[in-house]
Chains A and B, each alone.
Chain A
């Protein structure tokens, strides 16, 4: 899932300076599951904003809503009817959701209430960890199912570096050394010899470095002019 975290209240208040009536929009998918931008979090944030602005003597009307997925136009279409009544939209979606709202409502200011963090999952209650950077060419078959691109601080392809100690990364003792994990996994799988092969430089063209990325599936495309 995409993991996000709410911005500090003060930062959201700062963005909302000068606005009087806004719509806070949650998202029912990833950010709902990681307790950052679901229906419940929309309610809590809206109350906090109203209260803070009330104390400042500059009341703010915050209406609340949530859609199943901010990253699909079909779902945000439902907001179109009443949107003119608001002078801004506060999105509690990830960065994708914010941009889909901005694209659908070009005349409205859309403000991000979340910081989108990474693709990952929960490791224990209240803790989420990164697992994938979307580099565009997966190598997990060669690294025992542990990703060095997202989990090694230096993105080493032939690790570990000299800073691995007791299975921990030198950057932060709270971070497990990805290459120690890769080594242990490959050993358990009886495939250590594969780690002795030199991995060539990675082709980053499939990663963010190649510019805006698109996935095109011709078999799923609707022929132009034939939309049903």
Chain B
């Protein structure tokens, strides 16, 4: 994957952000990874940087993930948003999809899951 997209990682855990960013950087070394520590920061960065792909946690302070997805979709209705959350219940999945998420990854994520997802979003031209 040689693309140079901007990818937003939005999670209140600095550890989760680092782990996910490290995996993305491994498979897409040229990508520009930006990080946000809550939903509000995520929406602001989304608006400023217009990322090609956004990874988003659901349980976050200030603004939760579902609200952030709705705000991001208002800014760009075609936004590619992937939820990465520990609480992968059918109800949360339904809420996330209804809000506009494209995919849902249950924590703890595997490296292969992220690799496959990146491959599906950034197919070689």
Indicate whether A and B interact.
Answer: no
Residues of B within 8 A of A (CB): none
A interface list, Cβ under 8 A from B? none
